[in-house]
Structure 1
């Protein structure tokens, strides 16, 4: 075989190999026309289960709007908060739309979209409590918070060293119930969530003691680190629903003020 013929054969083999590699990578690539989304289902008004057993809430409506913008068929499932990140990493679903705050610690294991709302933390307590959320005011008090949340981290960092006791709960509703039943001196939580609870169920027992200083943070959609294409599609969809008015229509259904 001539040198020229051998070069041609080598080039053809390389080209065929490249085609094979591209075909294999294409087979593994996802088109994201079907997306599985998890939410907690125990964090009203952002996500909850209604009397008919259906997931409802701001997060759920936003997820559905994003799927419509992406022209994707989406399946929403409820997942307990404590196991929600491990389940995402394990591939049980593709994204989390569950009012998850974007933190540097979480970004070590998962990725986030741009924010879809922003929220501060606040402290509430009994009607006769002093409206003071300083560590000194809460010294010796029992404070409740949902476990594995930024509010639990804040209480651990800011109140426990000052002499407060922190009690953790699987859901925000359980912490609220213990406060209403005088088993806690205060709870710390997402201001919008506990405002909704006070308005509906806690008006007789409880009141705002104050915002937790410096706690306003961004909430995003969590995806696996390798799913950058899904993250980008979701970001484009967030931009679209913000621009076409869909986001504001959903927000107005739950809040009479801007949360973005």
Structure 2
């Protein structure tokens, strides 16, 4: 395994700031609800609709019963509970469309170890980050790849739309 120190990036967290900020990025609350009934401006008062990933262990994934779990999921549910909202509905999305789905009001928030960048801040608001991201490349023992230069000319798999994809495109194009 080769571990490349990817530019540490603050990772979007599930925090009260996310509830407050991202809920203001789109969507409309019920015409009959007052700000007192829906203090966070949620799409559906009393329910936080969350766009997430179902296959990004250990941050967010679905268990054998199809329930969302993982570090980010459990942290977000705890924060939502502390904010007085216990109905949290997670829906799996492709990472590449997750931020757009929040920005256009399909979801109140996105929870999926989302790296914070200035470009992303143009469309959605972020809570304070709580993780540093790294790009790790895993190969077989017989691949001959011992360092970053050994990746030249090799195929590298990354998740579309992630900071890791941007890093790989910038640094491993040959």
Q: TM-score, normalised by structure 2?
A: 0.70
Which structure 2 residues correspond to residues 158-237 of structure 1 after superposition, within 5 A?
158-160=171-173, 163=174
Which structure 2 residues correspond to residues 123-138 of structure 1 after superposition, within 5 A?
123-128=137-142, 129-134=144-149, 137-138=150-151
Partner of 2:107: 93
- Greater helix share, structure number: 1
- The unaligned stretches of length 5 or more in structure 1 are 1-23, 164-260
Tell me whether 1:40 sits opposite 2:53 in the alignment. yes
Tell me whether 1:122 sits opposite 2:136 in the alignment. yes
Q: TM-score, normalised by structure 1?
A: 0.48
Task: Return the offset for 1:80.
Answer: 2.2
The alignment's C-alpha RMSD in Å is 2.1
Equivalent position SS for 2:139: strand
- The unaligned stretches of length 5 or more in structure 2 are 1-30, 41-45
Of 31, 39, 57, the residue aligned with 2:39 is 31
- Greater strand share, structure number: 1
Task: Return the offset for 1:76.
Answer: 2.2
Which structure has the larger Rg over C-alpha atoms? 1
Which structure 2 residues correspond to residues 52-63 of structure 1 after superposition, within 5 A?
52-63=65-76
Which structure 2 residues correspond to residues 242-257 of structure 1 after superposition, within 5 A?
none
Which stretch shifts more, 83-92 or 149-158?
83-92
Task: Return the offset for 1:81.
Answer: 1.6
The answer to whether the 8 A contact 2:47-2:85 is kept is yes
Equivalent position SS for 2:127: strand
Q: In structure 2, how many angstroms separate the alpha carbons of the residues matched to 1:141 and 1:99?
A: 27
